Amino acid sequence: MLQVYLVRHGETQWNAERRIQGQSDSPLTAKGEQQAWQVAERARTLGITHVIASDLGRTQQTAQIIAEACGCDVTLDPRLRELDMGVLEKRPVDSLTEQEEGWRRTLVNGTEDGRIPQGESMQELSVRVQAALAECLKLPEGSRPLLVSHGIALGCLVSTILGLPAYAERRLRLRNCSISRIDYQESPWLASGWVVEMAGDISHLDAPALDELQR
């Protein structure tokens, strides 16, 4: 059985400002760095052998802290990037027009062909994050990788493992520096392949991490 841990990056300046990030970037806040150190302390006890991260700055910052605690190097994989949010990137959520908010809502309300202009669909996101996950099956026997990615990207990955379509209503909350685990296994009681062991655990954090849209 292969165990793969999934971590969302720490809180960023734009999370705190309720600004849409997508594949644009902002640095971790002081709280985000603290969250990264706390999830790193937990990761240090899990026998992590590989830390693989999205190549965006906020995930690299988080991954470096985790890798230092685990004694690993960081491997970057752009397929773990966040959903491309197109023309709405860098915009404060509260500044969106009714039409723009409608575009954004198609990504969370189950619209099959939803996307923001010049952005990415959930199906396109799903294809690349699933491909990144499949690379873990090529790691040496006994490996225990940890992937550092983003809220929508990891939510899409976990949801599709559960059998939902990529565009399904977004109902899985993965807070900053939450940790999830998926296993690749053969079982008489579960479907063969990837299964979800846990999702969105924040018990290692001092205080609950706020989702960027709950502020």
Beta strands 145-149 and 2-8: pairing type? parallel
SS3 assignment, position 103: helix
Sign of CA dihedral 188, 190, 192, 198: negative
Residue 106 makes CB contacts below 8 A (sequence gap 6+) with 114, 115, 116
For 138, phi and psi rounded to 5 degrees? -90, -5
**What is the distance between the alpha carbons of residues 207 and 137, in angstroms, rounded to a whole number?**
34
**What is the distance between the alpha carbons of residues 80 and 60, in angstroms, rounded to a whole number?**
11
Residue pointed to by tokens 């989702």: 211
Active-site choice (82, 89, 120, 212): 82
Spell out the SS3 assignment of 44-58. Answer: CCCCCCEEEECCCHH
Residue 25 structure tokens: 């970037």
**What is the distance between the alpha carbons of residues 144 and 97, in angstroms, rounded to a whole number?**
45
In the annotation, is 9 catalytic? yes
SS3 assignment, position 73: coil
In the annotation, is 82 catalytic? yes
Give catalytic residue positions: 9, 82
